[in-house]
A and B are shown apart, each in its own frame.
Chain A
Amino acid sequence: SAVISQKPSRDICQRGTSLTIQCQVDSQVTMMFWYRQQPGQSLTLIATANQGSEATYESGFVIDKFPISRPNLTFSTLTVSNMSPEDSSIYLCSVSTDYRANVLTFGAGSRLTVL
Chain B
Amino acid sequence: ILNVEQSPQSLHVQEGDSTNFTCSFPSSNFYALHWYRWETAKSPEALFVMTLNGDEKKKGRISATLNTKEGYSYLYIKGSQPEDSATYLCAFSSGTYKYIFGTGTRLKVLA
Contact = CB atoms under 8 A, between A and B. Distances in A.
Chain A CB within 10 Å, residue with most, of B89, B97, B103: B97
Interface in B85-106: 89, 91, 93, 97-104
Given A42-B101, A43-B89, A44-B101, A108 B42 contact: yes
B43 A41 contact: no
Contacts of B91: 43, 104
A102 B32 CA distance: 9
Interface residues of B, number: 21
A106 interface: yes
A106 B99 contact: no
B4 A42 contact: yes
A113 interface: no
A62 interface: no
B41 interface: yes
A52 interface: no
B43 A109 contact: yes
B49 interface: yes
B46 interface: yes
Interface of A: 4, 9, 31, 33, 40-45, 48, 58, 92, 96, 101-109
Given A4-B43, A42-B103, A109-B43, 9 more contacts: A9-B41, A40-B103, A41-B103, A42-B102, A43-B91, A44-B101, A92-B44, A106-B43, A107-B43
20 contacts: A4-B43, A33-B97, A40-B103, A41-B103, A42-B4, A42-B100, A42-B101, A42-B103, A43-B91, A43-B101, A58-B98, A96-B97, A102-B49, A102-B93, A102-B97, A103-B46, A104-B34, A104-B46, A105-B43, A108-B43
